[in-house]
Structure 1
Amino acid sequence: MEQFVHCVLLFSGIILTCVTTVSADFPLLMPQVQPTQNETYLCTGFHVASSKHQYIVAFRPNATKHVAHHILIYGCESPGYREWDTPRAVWDCGEMATSHSMFHKGPTCRTGSQIIYAWAMDAPALRLPEGVGFKIGGNSGINYLVLQVHYADTTAFLDGQKRDSSGIVLSLVPGDTNQVKRRAGVYVLGTGGMIRAHTKENFESACRINENLTLYPFAFRTHTHKLGKAVTGYVVRKGQWTNIGKHSPQEPQMFYPAKKGLKIVKGDVLAARCTMQNFRDRDTYVGPTGNDEMCNFYIMYYVDGDRILNDKQCFSYGPPIYYWHSDPLLRDDLTTKVNEDASTLD
């Protein structure tokens, strides 16, 4: 539990009033699970009070990269699996489940899926900017929070002794607080595709924003597996490319501060590139396991008011089918300078 004191000044340094906001911890943790198959994805759901909304203002990991390959928090209208007499049901929510799985099989969300937070590679805690929060419960459309943990290597569990409670501890403040006035959201760009053995390849995506909103990006996160070298995101307006952020996906995959002063408005194009170098003797495809690849660029933003984007993700087929230079949204504005900037970390 934490306290935040906000004071309002009337004039000449005279304090008009002070308000103390208390945040409560809400632990989203696996209930002492024992996965025994490599590349297992496990989910567990947490019901959120439907009578009134709350705000998430911080995320504190309770995990290590030696156990959890990555962790996602989804907001769901309804979860992918429920047992009415089991308050903390666990289910297999991966694409690669086999008939030998000891867990029930189901999607992450049954309806109303949206990503709220992502963690990997021992990323540290994240606190949102002052006045910003993720709205859950009430009329937010999020009735459940679902924790998804990817266990890439389960060797440590095979002795039958070790159990795991990896997850994220949330900091929540009540919905009637006047300290949260800007609602947060996440927009994700991702690709499919493949990279040939011993080659370099760009995995790219781009989508136009068609909703009449002004988004203020304040953080970004990159995600690939072992082949990623650089991941970069842009907002493109009237032919002008502005860098939102770039980072090596081989460093802690946390949310890093986005470029300051950015706005995203209706008509803008959001674009992302993951530059990959395949050192393997085999072709590698985008997929869910650590032996596959992924290309994701997350944009965490806020809006003034209560309405966030309805369309929360952008996906392309990736190479060899999709590239920026073949996309009518971008091909006339793609310069050599942008092309070089997108694949370097300088």
Structure 2
Amino acid sequence: MGGRHTLHIVGAVLILIQATCCLQVKKFPLLMPNVYPDREESYFCTPVRVVPDKSFYIVGFEPVATMDVVHHMIVFGCSKPGTTDPFWDCGEMASDSSSTLRKANPCAEGSNVIYAWALNAKPLQLPENVGFQVGEGSKIQYLVLQIHYSKKFKENESDNSGLNLIYTEEPQSKLAGVLLLGTGGAIPPRSVTHMETLCQIREKKTIYPIAYRTHTHSLGQVVSGYSVRRDKSGVDHWSLLGKRNPNTPQMFYPIFNKGPIRYGDRLAARCTMDSTNRTDYTIVGPKHDNEMCNFYIIYYVEEGTPLDMKYCISEGPPYFYWRNEENDLNNIPDDEASNLI
């Protein structure tokens, strides 16, 4: 992999570990270049270009961050980054006109999430023979690290949080992808609200889920995700992919049901949000007092490339619910989806 800094290139060459008995892997440090968050709710992005004439396979992620400093971080794969600056302001709601940083999205083209971290989550290693392909033969030509800092730093402080990418140049037989299920919407005060999303696999590919991750801010109580398959008699069968209290470490956990998800199946997620102690509406947004409802799925394909579909996003409450007639769902597991037991 190529990098902005010589240090990155040297680190990538010299630091070797053994992930399995036979796979030679290297570490690549993808870190913030000593940024200074000069206000609350700062979002910074920093890019690295992948060497264009080689293929690499990312097989693991090692966080180099703590929740005391970093609210959350995401690694995007991009065809083109938002800019090629060493770092930039990539907050969705960046409005501080005094900032001298360029404002841009993480990706200008071909955006897809390949990793996310929060709440002191542990490292992630993919199963044997599974990897995210980047570089030649892939649409991912850049990797962009986005970090959300919820607090303003003191003067003369800076940060180089990030993560080590564990990668190999040996081709992996199973290519990995990430599908993000999420919602928009608004949560009314003094209520328990379900934020829900639903989408159908419309590509003639079979995916095998291997890990899931939940993400909300402070109102989230339970996040659950399902695959839904309809039998010939018209009955929907809901298979639980994962369920968790999002206030626990927001790492990727082993999937509950590893069965294949095929063309025509649907994916669904629900976040149960408790706003009984709030007196105003809570909207979806990037700030810590906004909310998010996200369910990530890491999967692999045994043939071909991962799904072109990267995101499954609904309008959320008060407009979108599983029970809406146009969704044509039945056998909905209301109690299971909303409770940890």
TM-score between the two structures when normalised by the length of structure 1: 0.90
* Contact preservation (8 Å) 2:199, 2:312: yes
Aligned amino acid, residue 21 of structure 1: L
Determine which of 13, 36, 39 is the counterpart of 1:37. Answer: 39
Determine which of 214, 218, 230 is the counterpart of 1:222. Answer: 214
Determine which of 267, 276, 294 is the counterpart of 2:264. Answer: 267
Q: What is the rounded CA distance, in whole Å, between the counterparts of 1:261 and 1:90 in structure 2?
A: 38
Could you tell me how far 1:168 is from its partner in structure 2? 1.1
Equivalent position of 1:197 in the other structure: 189
Aligned amino acid, residue 38 of structure 1: E
Larger strand fraction of residues: 1
* Contact preservation (8 Å) 2:213, 2:297: yes
Q: What is the rounded CA distance, in whole Å, between the counterparts of 2:325 and 2:245 in structure 1?
A: 25
Determine which of 79, 102, 105 is the counterpart of 2:81. Answer: 79
Equivalent position of 1:15 in the other structure: none
Could you tell me how far 1:139 is from its partner in structure 2? 1.6
Partner secondary structure for residue 33 of structure 1:
coil
TM-score between the two structures when normalised by the length of structure 2: 0.91
Equivalent position of 1:93 in the other structure: 90
Partner secondary structure for residue 340 of structure 1:
helix
* Contact preservation (8 Å) 1:269, 1:329: no
Determine which of 302, 305, 329 is the counterpart of 1:304. Answer: 302
Could you tell me how far 1:24 is from its partner in structure 2? 0.9
Equivalent position of 1:50 in the other structure: 52
Q: What is the rounded CA distance, in whole Å, between the counterparts of 1:266 and 1:152 in structure 2?
A: 40
The residue correspondences of 1:148-167 to structure 2 (distance < 5 A) are 148-154=146-152, 157-158=153-154, 160-167=155-162
Identity of counterpart residues, as a percentage?
46
Aligned amino acid, residue 310 of structure 2: K
Q: What is the rounded CA distance, in whole Å, between the counterparts of 2:20 and 2:318 in structure 1?
A: 53
Equivalent position of 1:116 in the other structure: 114
The residue correspondences of 1:183-332 to structure 2 (distance < 5 A) are 183-238=175-230, 239-278=236-275, 279-331=277-329
Could you tell me how far 1:328 is from its partner in structure 2? 2.9
Aligned amino acid, residue 256 of structure 1: Y
* Contact preservation (8 Å) 1:232, 1:245: yes
Could you tell me how far 1:95 is from its partner in structure 2? 1.6
Question: Over alpha carbons, which structure has the higher Rg?
Answer: 1
Could you tell me how far 1:4 is from its partner in structure 2? 4.6
Q: Tell me the alpha carbon deviations over residues 17-47 of structure 1, each in whole angstroms, 9 at most, x when there is no partner.
A: xxx4321110110001111111111000000
Aligned amino acid, residue 248 of structure 2: E
Aligned residues: 319
Partner secondary structure for residue 325 of structure 1:
coil
Q: What is the rounded CA distance, in whole Å, between the counterparts of 1:41 and 1:101 in structure 2?
A: 12
* Contact preservation (8 Å) 1:235, 1:244: yes
- The runs of 5 or more residues in structure 2 that have no matched partner are 1-15, 231-235
Partner secondary structure for residue 341 of structure 1:
helix
Could you tell me how far 1:329 is from its partner in structure 2? 3.3
* Contact preservation (8 Å) 2:237, 2:331: no
Against the structure 1 CA distance between its residues 237 and 281, is the aligned structure 2 distance closer, same or farther, given a 3 Å change threshold? same
Against the structure 1 CA distance between its residues 275 and 330, is the aligned structure 2 distance closer, same or farther, given a 3 Å change threshold? farther
Q: What is the rounded CA distance, in whole Å, between the counterparts of 2:99 and 2:192 in structure 1?
A: 36
The residue correspondences of 1:17-32 to structure 2 (distance < 5 A) are 20-32=22-34
Q: What is the rounded CA distance, in whole Å, between the counterparts of 1:339 and 1:4 in structure 2?
A: 41
Could you tell me how far 1:259 is from its partner in structure 2? 1.5
Could you tell me how far 1:101 is from its partner in structure 2? 1.6
Could you tell me how far 1:220 is from its partner in structure 2? 0.2
Q: What is the rounded CA distance, in whole Å, between the counterparts of 1:124 and 1:306 in structure 2?
A: 30
Q: What is the rounded CA distance, in whole Å, between the counterparts of 2:189 and 2:93 in structure 1?
A: 23
- The runs of 5 or more residues in structure 1 that have no matched partner are 7-19, 84-88
Partner secondary structure for residue 258 of structure 2:
coil
Against the structure 1 CA distance between its residues 224 and 330, is the aligned structure 2 distance closer, same or farther, given a 3 Å change threshold? farther
Partner secondary structure for residue 26 of structure 1:
strand
- The runs of at least 4 aligned residues of structure 1 exceeding 6 Å deviation read none
Q: What is the rounded CA distance, in whole Å, between the counterparts of 1:201 and 1:334 in structure 2?
A: 20
Equivalent position of 1:14 in the other structure: none
* Contact preservation (8 Å) 1:325, 1:334: no
- Higher mean alpha-carbon deviation, 185-194 vs 95-104, is at 95-104
1:2 aligns with 2:17: yes
Q: What is the rounded CA distance, in whole Å, between the counterparts of 2:269 and 2:19 in structure 1?
A: 36
Could you tell me how far 1:5 is from its partner in structure 2? 5.3
- Higher mean alpha-carbon deviation, 39-48 vs 92-101, is at 92-101
- When the two chains are superposed, the root-mean-square deviation of aligned CA atoms in Å is 1.2
Q: Tell me the alpha carbon deviations over residues 182-234 of structure 1, each in whole angstroms, 9 at most, x when there is no partner.
A: 00000011001111111110000000000011100010000000000000000
Equivalent position of 1:86 in the other structure: none
Against the structure 1 CA distance between its residues 132 and 198, is the aligned structure 2 distance closer, same or farther, given a 3 Å change threshold? same
